[in-house]
Amino acid sequence: MAHKVKFFCLHFRLFIIALLFLQFVQAQNNFSKLDDWLDNNVSNLGGRAVLLVWKDGKTVYENAANELTRKQKFIGKRIAKKTGRDIDLNDFDANTKQRIASCSKWLTAALAMTFVDEKKINLEDSIGKFLPVMTTHGKGNIKVWHCLSHLTGIKQIGVMDAMNNGDENGRGSFREKMQQKQNGGLSNKLNPWNSMQDAMDSIAKTEMEGEPGKTFHYGNAGLQIIAAICEVVGNKDFETLFQERIAKPLKMKDTDFGNVKVPLAAGGAYSTPNDYLKFLQMILNHGKFNGKQIISKQSIIDMQKNYVSKDCKIVYTPVEAGNWGYGFGAWVMDNAIGNQRSSAITSPGLFGTFPWVDNEKKYCAILFTLNIKSKGRGERYKELKQLVDEAY
């Protein structure tokens, strides 16, 4: 009898080992599909891309594709010349640093939530409480959560309007068009702001286009207001607050908002794939990183709810977002409504970078690119996420 028990236990162990091996092989096969996807899509991603996937405490997938054509190299050099900022035309890798455009929104929202945790800001607070200039111009009743979710009702410069803001034939300089498109008309070089107060004066004087909380316009004004409020309650400049409360605790040594006079809270950050992946890990782990609570679990949940109600007036939303909802600084990728937490969230940027967190499958990932062309981008995002999902 004992012999039979030992025989059974041995075979059971072998079965479990074989099962684990098959799962490992299956995961490897699925990851090979990611290799194929990168190879097949690299030209549509601007010629270079980095993909990282993190799960169970480690990076489980890392790959970079570098196939710049002569035309792409020429465009890269032109961008560098026109913007006055070096653009590395060498191989992309996980430590390449570049501007991440609207991926910045998630970072700014996270910073704001650290003050919510400290009860220095309440999501239901009216912005006039912190910024008297908003009350002066009839906008003091807009609430903090409206700003975090693009529901301020403040009129903003549309992407196409900004792109066509050139000479009489619609031909603005390459530099102006690129910067205006990236920032929705709010550019470091083009805005007249000398201080955050100047920025608030400008936004406060802008006309309204709808009712706060009932008008969705994906843009920049709300996050810039949040940045100003953070400076008021934190009694320091935005960049310093971001470094102290988000970047340094997460060991994001290569992430900043450009160290400029007036940081663009909705699109001015620079980062690397490795750095941003640390931020995503924190979001996935309910606000924890390396055992330290950076943001409370409740605040993470609040960031991942859909605040765009069915009766909202949609003024502008990017094509690639499709029918996604919006939380705080990030898109809600499922049909979560009300107080329901989303199963997956993302905050893509103009240059094609696509970071996301999947709460159900418990992983996070980032596709890091430098590509202005957005045609077919939304479909590629969905296809890539599906392939990563299938690996688990």
Note the pLDDT tens digit of each residue in 205-260: 999 999 999 999 999 999 999 999 999 999 999 999 999 999 999 999 999 999 89
Binned at pLDDT 50, 70 and 90, residue 143 comes out as very high
Alpha carbon distance 108, 204 (integer Å): 20
What tokens appear for 309 in the block? 């109600």
Q: Is 80 exceeded by the pLDDT of residue 91? A: no
Residues 6+ positions from 310 with CB-CB distance below 8 Å: 337
**Confidence (pLDDT) at 176:** 39
The confidence score (pLDDT) of residue 79 equals 60
Left if phi > 0, otherwise alpha if psi is -120 to 50, otherwise beta: which for 258?
A: left
Per-residue model confidence (pLDDT) at position 86: 53
Residue 96 has pLDDT above 80, yes or no: yes
Distance from first CA to last CA of the chain, Å, rounded?
A: 40
- Checking if the pLDDT of 172 tops 60, the result is no
Q: Tell me what pLDDT residue 201 has.
A: 96
Q: What is the pLDDT of residue 168?
A: 29
CA distance 4 to 321: 60
User: Can you tell me whether residue 277 is helix, strand or coil?
Assistant: helix
List the chain domain ranges.
2-126+221-390
Model confidence at 202, in pLDDT bands (50, 70, 90)?
very high
Q: How much of the chain exceeds pLDDT 90, in percent? A: 66
| CA atoms of 141 and 143, how far apart (whole Å) | 6
pLDDT computed for residue 11 by the predictor: 52
- Please give the Cα distance from 281 to 288 (Å, whole number): 8
Look at residue 188 in the predicted model and tell me its pLDDT.
Answer: 41
Between helix 104-117 and helix 221-234 the angle, nearest 10°, is: 40
Give CA–CA dist 301/16, Å, rounded. Answer: 37
pLDDT of residue 322: 86
Q: What is the pLDDT of residue 2?
A: 53
DSSP letters spanning 16-54: HHHHHHHHHHHHHHHHHHHHHHHHHHGGGGTSEEEEEEE
pLDDT in tens, 296-328: 999 999 999 999 998 999 999 998 898 899 999
pLDDT at 320: 87
Residues 100-106, mean pLDDT to the nearest whole number: 96
Q: In the prediction, which pLDDT does 18 show?
A: 43
Long-range contacts of 322-326 (CB under 8 A, 24+ apart): 322/378, 326/149, 326/150, 326/216, 326/218
322/320 Cα distance (integer angstroms)? 5
- In total, the chain counts a number of residues equal to 392
Position 197 scores a pLDDT of 96
Q: Residue 67 and residue 306: Cα distance in Å, rounded?
A: 38
Identify residue 117 by its one-letter amino acid code: D
List, for residues 25-66, the tens digit of each pLDDT value: 445 557 899 999 999 999 888 889 999 999 999 999 999 998
Q: What is the pLDDT of residue 129?
A: 98
Please say if the pLDDT value at position 131 is more than 90.
yes
Average pLDDT on 173-177 reads 38
- The CATH code for residues 2-126+221-390 is 3.40.710.10
Tens-place pLDDT, residues 314-371: 999 998 898 899 999 999 998 666 667 889 999 999 999 999 999 999 999 999 998 8
Residue 237 has what pLDDT? 97
- 383 versus 15: the higher-pLDDT residue is 383
For residue 306, the one-letter residue type is N
CA distance 219 to 155: 9
pTM above 0.75, yes or no: yes
Return the residue matching tokens 């309650």: 233
**Do the Cβ atoms of 204 and 139 come closer than 8 Å?**
yes
CA distances from 121 to 111, 232, 334 (A): 11, 10, 28
Q: Is the pLDDT of residue 22 over 70?
A: no
Residue 200 has pLDDT above 50, yes or no: yes
